[in-house]
Structure 1
Amino acid sequence: MRYVSQLFQPVITIPKGAKIKNTEITCKSQKLLLECGLVRPTSAGFFALLPLARRALDKLEALVIDCLEAAGAQRLSLPCLTSAKLWEASGRLADVGTELLKVEDRHGKKFLLAPTHEEAIADLLADVGPLSYKQLPLILYQITSKYRDEFRPKHGLLRSREFSMLDAYSVHRNAECANIVYGNVSNAYRDLFGKLELNVHRVKAPSGDMGGELSHEWQLPVSAGEDTIAICPSCSHAVLSEEKSVCEQCGKEMAGCNSVEVGHTFILGTKYSDPLKASFVPPEGPPTPLIMSCYGIGITRLLAASLEALSTEKALRWPRAIAPYSVIVIGPKEGSKEWSNAGKERADEISHQLSSVVGGDLLVDDRHPLTIGKRLMMADRMGYPSVVVCGRAATENPPRFELYRSGADAPVLLTADELIRTVRTDCSDDKRNKAVI
């Protein structure tokens, strides 16, 4: 069990009625993550992820890994620094130059802090290749820090200069194979966003500097988003659009809304494999350039975007699968009647019983000098999915505990057995969506 008093969580307390003049805070996810002690800015566009945010991010990464592995992907790690020569060979060095963070070593060799790794993966496959057609299709992925020299980073983790990102790459012998794998990975994306209970829309999009033959953005409607999509209220078909339009699927009028891009997928063709000599040996004939596809998800951006979509202005609301802790237990106030009537012992007992169900996903608020109401308010602001309160009813015979569940209108009173069964059911549902950390 982890205790709240032990957490490194530098909460920022805003005096009641105070007017906030910090114009750098531009959206609610940024404000709540900062004030609740989950992130800390280090300089413009760079953030320290503190333990609770790191814990949520670990859970999100575990979900992403499960979905990609189910689609047949294999994990690797590539260096954050990529030789500038590779980007020269692909032609992207000049096209994307202003957004690249560049370094030079003592020997005068130029490198990039890579925002993406198409060139690096093509170079790797060229180095070990040519591959046999029998090895295809092949899907490789990584989750690493990426870097982009944003002209004006804002919205906290929604647009930063350093960010955690999934980037996956698949290679194929022909366009038919590429389309099949593209569909499989797209289904993995749908599974991921479904487990997060986020209404993410896949929309056709231009390929831009990435190039390629096909491109889709995965857009989550949020008011702070800098993109705009139009969604059909009848069939849910969505398109990139800044104006109302008519749905090509059903003919109904579509409504526009702001959104944030949380993922992007491309079929690249031979844009990178051809100049970087990444090839395979077909059943007959000479080595042939690989058909490449790539798939990205901004992990830190998705974390912030989910909070942007679900939270209120005053309280965090998490997808249950990635909440830092699933359950928090609040015991009686020190010196109260409940405390004197063995309330503290009951709280300790139910905490140990719950820990046998949720393991390390249990948090105990041991700040007993604070009232239950104060700690309950803090737990609600943090958005823990299940809050167990050991109040007056916990000293009765049989003892009953208040269970506050995220999204419920009111708490329910449950005996210890009923509470354990309820939490076990919730935990079983969660295990279908995530690995409990």
Structure 2
Amino acid sequence: MRYVSQLFQPIISIPKNAKIKNTEITCKSQKLLLECGLVRPTAAGLFTLLPLARRALDKLEALVQKHIESTGAQRISFPALASESLWERSGRLAGGGPELMTVKDRHDKKYLLAPTHEESIADLLADVGPLSYKQLPLLLYQIGNKYRDEHRPKHGLLRAREFRMLDAYGAHAAADCAREQYERVTGAYRRLFDVLQLNVHRVEAPTGEMGGSLSHEWQCVAGAGEDAVDVCLSCSHARLADPSERDAERRCQCGGTLRRGNSVEVGHTFILGTKYSEPLRATFTPASGAPQPVVMSCYGIGITRLLAASVEALSTEQSITWPRAIAPFNTIVIGPKEGSKEWISHGWEGVKQMAHSIEEVQQEEVLVDDRHSLTIGKRLMMADKMGYPTIVVCGKHSAESPPRYEVLHRSPPNSTSPHQSPPSTTLLTHSELLHSLADNGRQERIPVL
């Protein structure tokens, strides 16, 4: 178990009714992550992830990895630096713009801090190729830091210069094979976002500088989003919003009304065709005939952006709400105030035993608020702001026979109830509490496949 008193969590306390003058704080997720001691800015668009944010990100990365590997993907790691010559050969260097970060080594060779690795994967396949058609389809992925020299980084982790990203790359013998794999991978995307309890829409999008024949953005509905989507109230079809359209033109093909909302792009997927394989000579040998360029696809998820988008989409202005799957701690136990009659009857050892029994049921670490000099109310208010999904309070009822514990469960809003509701509160005995937590755990273990 872990103790609140030992956490490195530099909380920023803002007096009640105080006006925030820092104009750099531009959205809810940025404000909450900073105030709650989860992130710390180091420069414009650059952030240190503190221990609780790192725990949440580790959980999110494990979840992303689990879902992408359910499609048969294999993990690799590319260097962050990519040779400029590869981007010249693909034709993307000239169109990359000022967002590309470049460096030179001591031999005056030029490199990019690659924001994506299409050229690198094509070069790898060319280096080991030609592949046999029997080796296809092939899906390789990595999770690592990416860099983009944003002209105006803002909204905290939603638009940063350094960010964590999943990027996966498919190699196929034909376009129809690429489309089949595309649907498998995007199906895994849908299951991932369902586990995170996020309202994310797959919408057709321009292929842009990436090129290819097909592109979809994955847009998470959130108030601070810089994009917007139109969603049909009848058939749930979604599309990227066209700002030039008048309200009268915003009708779905089914005849239903389209509702517009701000959104954050948390993923992007493409069928690339041979845009990169041809110039970089990534080929395969078919059953008969000469080698042919592989047909490529690619799949990205901005993991740190997805973390921030989850907070942005689900939280209130006053407190964080986490998807339970990625909360830094799922459960916090708040013991009685030192010197109270509950403290005398329950004691510090009783609080630790309670936390240990919960750990055995949930099979993960429990956080214990051991700051016994503070009132239960003060600690409860702080735990609520942090958004821990389950709060167990050893309050006045813990001195009863049998002892009962106040249990608060926080659930994210959903499509049928889009507004945040207060945590549900119940009084449970020790055995009832463990049974309840075990049931919740079984219900929340959504299968990947």
Common topology (TM > 0.5) = yes
Give the SS at the match of 2:364.
helix
Letter in 2 for 1:371: T
Tell me by how many angstroms 1:417 deviates. 0.4
Query: What RMSD, in angstroms, separates the aligned Cα atoms of the two structures?
Result: 1.3
Question: Aligned residue for 2:187?
Answer: 187
Cα distance in structure 2, aligned partners of 1:430 and 1:105: 50
Q: Tell me which residue corresponds to 2:370.
A: 366
Structure 2 CA distance, aligned partners of 1:424 and 1:285? 59
SS at match of 1:266: strand
For 1:253 and 1:388, locate their aligned partners in 2 and report how far apart those are by CA, in whole Å.
Answer: 44
Matched to 1:129, the amino acid is G
The AA in structure 2 aligned to 1:127 is D
Q: What is the identity, as a one-letter code, of the residue corresponding to 1:429?
A: Q
5+ unaligned residues in a row in structure 2: which ranges?
412-421
Shift of the alpha carbon at 1:18? 1.6
Matched residue, 2:441: 427
Q: CA deviation at 1:76?
A: 0.6
Q: Counterpart of 1:93 in 2: which secondary structure?
A: coil
2:336 is matched with: 332
Matched with 1:149 is 149
Q: Distance in 2 between matches of 1:294 and 1:317?
A: 31
Opposite residue 4 of structure 1, the aligned amino acid is V
Aligned identity (percent) is: 65
3-state SS of paired residue (1:360): coil
Report what 1:79 is aligned to.
79
Q: Which residue of 1 aligns with 2:432?
A: 418
Q: Contact 2:346/2:398 (CA < 8 Å) preserved in 1?
A: no
Match for residue 268 of structure 2? 264
Give, in whole Å, the separation in 2 of the partners of 1:160 and 1:372. 38
How many Å apart are 1:304 and its aligned residue? 0.3
User: How far apart, CA to CA, are the structure 1 residues paired with 2:64 and 2:197?
Assistant: 14
Deviates more, 1:413-422 or 1:9-18: 9-18
2:290 matches 1:286: yes
Alignment size in residue pairs: 434
Q: Which residue of 1 aligns with 2:351?
A: 347
Contact 1:2 1:360 in 2 (8 A): no
Alignment of 1:161 onto 2:161: yes
Equivalent-residue separation in structure 2 for 1:393 and 1:338 (angstroms): 8
1:381 counterpart letter in structure 2: K
Q: Which consecutive unaligned segments of at least 5 residues does structure 1 have?
A: none
2:255 aligned with 1:251: yes
Instruction: Provide TM-score, normalisation by structure 1.
Output: 0.97
Whether the aligned pair in 2 keeps the contact of 1:310 and 1:318 (CA below 8 Å) is yes
Distance 1:410 1:280 in 2: 58
Q: Is the 8 A contact 2:81 2:112 kept in 1?
A: yes
**What are the superposed Cα offsets for residues 84-134 of structure 1, whole Å, 9 maximum, x if unpaired?**
100001111110131100000001110000100000010011101110000
Deviation string, structure 1 residues 338-386 (Cα, Å, up to 9, x no partner): 1122343432221121121223331000010010000000000000000
1:361 match: secondary structure: coil
Counterpart CA distance in 2 for 1:412 and 1:249 is 47
Q: Secondary structure in 2 aligned to 1:377?
A: helix
Instruction: Return 188-197 or 8-17, whichever deviates more.
Output: 8-17
Give 1:246 deviation, angstroms: 4.1
SS for the counterpart of 2:93 is helix
CA distance in 2, matches of 1:247, 1:179: 29
Deviations 1:178-208 (A, max 9, x none): 0100000010000100111111000000001
Q: Could you tell me how far apart the structure 1 residues matched to 2:364 and 2:204 are?
A: 41
Shift of 1:411: 1.1
**Deviation of the 1:427 alpha carbon:** 2.3
